[in-house]
A = this chain, B = another copy of it.
């Protein structure tokens, strides 16, 4: 992982956001706040929702599909769709775009998307995959926040660079850092391995904790349980796609968790309380270093 932050002197003139939900809406809000001169176009399925997002001040303009017309001037297109829909949308945009268009995304799984996009030469040239590590349980542009990305890491996963692609990477770093992110660069596979541990496994663990408690025992939960399981309220449909989209790495992460849970169980059965304390101490030290 290489961390880099670059404050670009000049932001994009035009940004097209495909999928104006929590993430897409927050990107629009961040641009509005930081770069009021940039034209923001929203693309989505529902005319009613898009009109409401424009009414809320997030969009200059909107449409229900990306058109060749939109892609004739230098723009960044950010695809904020569920992970299973990103690659096809990127390729469709690329097929219509001039070479001055840069395409990125906000998908929380990268290998599958980058592999699919790379199969098409023009798409591979115009696309730099990204994942801003920010979000919430509650979707919809109504929950958008201009500062959602402030000081959050955005991982970008450019392909092995052919000559002359440096300027595209610099431009994408300028885009994501321009809305507040600290940009880090790694391979799609490295991203997916780490995010399986830091994001996808916690989602599974929160679901597991909630399920074994069940509705009947909720009255005897405290603030610790609320915090630990908050993410379990997220959309089952979106999260099914994320887990399935990072299948191998999530399986490995779940296996690691099962192994460590078994360590706790065996220490409890063997009455090896110093082992229990050692397991808890390791976690406590690590979590304390992250801050509250």
Contact = CB atoms under 8 A, between A and B. Distances in A.
B261 A258 contact: yes
Interface residues of A, number: 88
Contacts of A198: 213, 217-218, 220-222, 225
A283 B232 contact: yes
Contacts of A215: 286, 289
Interface string A201-235: 11111111111111101111111111111111111
A49 interface: no
A225 to B, nearest CB: 5
Contact of A219 (B153, B199, B223): B153
A31 to B, nearest CB: 21
Contacts of A237: 277
A145 to B, nearest CB: 12
Given A152-B222, A228-B231, 20 more contacts: A3-B219, A153-B219, A184-B219, A194-B220, A197-B217, A198-B221, A198-B225, A201-B209, A203-B224, A205-B261, A206-B287, A207-B279, A207-B282, A218-B290, A228-B230, A230-B292, A233-B292, A251-B269, A255-B265, A257-B261
Contact of A265 (B251, B264, B283): B251
A127 B5 CA distance: 61
